[in-house]
Structure 1
Amino acid sequence: MIEVPDSAAGERLDVFLAGSVGSRAKAQKLIDAGLVRVDGKPKQKRFTLQGGETIEVEAAPEGPKVDVPPAQFEIAYEDERLIVVNKPAGVVVHPGVGNREGTLVQALAGRVAGGTDPDRPGVVHRLDRDTSGLLVLARDEETLFALQEALRRRDVTREYLALVEGRPSAKRGTIDAPLGRDRRVRTKMSTDTDDPHDAITHFETEQALPDDTLLRVTLETGRTHQIRAHLLAIGHPVAGDPEYGHAGRHGLSRQFLHAHRLAFKHPETGAPMELRAPLPEDLVRALRQASGERADHSA
């Protein structure tokens, strides 16, 4: 069920739905197949929303089953209450539209739990498919609630390494700019939105390079695509980002964004937890290229 905000009044149904299902083309296919209802009634894709409606989207009929290999991951820490995973790029955290199989929580079936959504057991926070690094998952309801509360209180430190194009005007700073669905491109998040939500990102220069800057970025809030949208908003998109920057920079096949440090108090013992994940090899190679080093150092 999707609740249509008042700010979406005047939008076409297919344009609005694109933000939830991944693309306008996919939204149109669902509408044309009769799988979308607005307040219980099928509507055409050009139908104009008024705001306040409820949209139901039925699952499309399944085609031939395709075997999807289980998600790859590394365990950075595990106990009876929680698991911290080092997620590689290319892995989706939980099932969603267009990604029903091969997700992280499915690979962790039986080892994570908690929450009312069967597709998101134990999920405290998420990483984009092509963002690598650390995230914590709960193994029971009590732990999930405690970690989510700590996240809301901003007692969980999530620090990323991001290579960005150009050089910010200050060595450190805070981006305090509300984010929401972009007015024109509904699959992207933006400061140019009709549905803004508070979003705060802190950054500090880790290394200045000839044409790029390696930043340490800390999230104070956790909006979808927050780092990528915020860094674009200040004119320094994440290197290699195909949606918010320029694909292929420094040989990258994805955005240079890695959740390298996670710190929080253990929800049961109160002991401080701090975990780090080194940069994966594809980002190490890109960083060398951005630094002007040769990728091959052999004699």
Structure 2
Amino acid sequence: MAREEENMQDKENKENKETDTTINGQVDQPGRQFYIPSQIVDEFGEKGRDHLNKRFRAQFLLALTAGSFMTFGAVFSILLAVGIESKGLYHLLSGIGFASGYAMVFISGSVLFTEINVLLPSYLFNKGGLMKRTIYKFWASAYVGNILGAFLVGILIQLSASLSPSFYNELSMYLDHKMKFMEDGVLGWFEILISGILANWLIGMAAFLTTAARDITGKFLGTMLPVILFVAGNFQHSAANMGYFSMGILSTDKYQWYEYIFFNLVPASIGNLIGGGILVSLLFSYAYKEDIQTSLGRTNG
């Protein structure tokens, strides 16, 4: 394994040093400043493995932290959008606000359900279909931890009495936007599922771009672009909705807690699994199978 990692490092160093030269032999082109796709898939698998190797207590605490960041992101997205009349600027500011929550998740290494929908499948696909009960236990604990973390921060924010009435008026509009699918009954349930596929496809690409970047600025930008898009498109992202719904449960009785869960979070979560696991993890793992260099990829031969 050490030999394989050494070979991968040598290859990367060679790629970074490859440049065009002038006639005098002087360097004319700088080295590459980002990871290539096969290296990103490697990194996904290794991150998935690292999460699984943590003790359950650490996994659950990191899931609580990630859920907390989702509520902070939801609150910031609303605060930035209050009073904005222009739709384009409204969506842009709202997306930037929510991207702050994702940036905290990605950079802190917290465990977000919709991110591990990409990381764990990358690990599974590149280990030849390894299936263990601990994997599903981790998946479930991440989901529950995200919900509890989001709700905990919602409670603290309510107790702080920091937010103005205009915030709650805007929050009500956000909730209506998220729950509008209830009007379509069974069809609405499947619409949310499809919307969830699109949402986690974009979040998977946010993880992809963030992993590709080698500096903190690149990681912020990589996070921001797909998040702004899914927020503007109202694509149903279960972890993001946990942040909005935690505030909604505590501030309004317009919707009941079970409506948030069964008429939004459940179908959105199913869609998120499909979008992250298939359209990002499986797609890129298969496309770059021959290029994957780490022990994760080589096990698959």
TM-score by length of 2: 0.21
More strand by share: 1
TM-score by length of 1: 0.21
More helix by share: 2
If asked which structure has higher relative contact order (CA below 8 Å, sep 6+), I would say: 2
